[in-house]
Amino acid sequence: MSERQTIARTEQHGRGMASKVEAATLASSAGVPVLLAAARDATAALATSSDGPVVGTAFRAHGTRLSARRFWLLHAANTEGRLYLDAGAVAAVVGRRRSLLAAGITDVQGEFVAGDVVELAGPDGRLVARGVVGYDAAELPAVIGRSSHELPPEQRREVVHADDLVPLV
């Protein structure tokens, strides 16, 4: 049964079950296996056969397990702004897991300060990542599109460090 069918089927039981299925889907996408069952059926649910659990619904883990910080960045942190990237920056950030430098930014939206979480969007506007920004929004217009060697020493830092970035694609 697909995730959509499972959610549709559970809506007859109220929003509580749908939110449990959404939480299980979220956890399994982060590499955590989940077994959904009523507490009274816990013993039976844990006795699985080759076809899966006898009682309950199993969600296989897929994807890689994220650190707590990356999980927070991806699913729980509120974003305060958006940075638009050129195609080269998208390839570096998403494809090669590199830090975002000022040279790859084409536009800045929102009001944020260094340490806030921002969305990163490609040239087409599609969101490609989220990360903790190292600059205030007011500082960025003076540095975007410029390579590091063109900047004064105090501004030669990553806009979003690779360790503080989570790709969405």
Q: pLDDT tens, 69-116?
A: 888 888 888 999 999 999 999 999 999 999 999 999 999 999 999 999
Res. 7: pLDDT tops 80:
no
What is the spatial distance between Cα 126 and Cα 124, in angstroms, rounded to a whole number?
6
Compute, in degrees rounded to 10, the torsion defined by CA atoms 38, 43, 48, 53.
-10
Q: Which CATH architecture is the domain 69-167 placed in?
A: Roll (2.30)
> Domain limits of the chain?
3-59, 69-167
Whether the Cβ atoms of residue 168 and residue 129 lie closer than 8 Å to each other: yes
pTM for this model (two decimals): 0.71
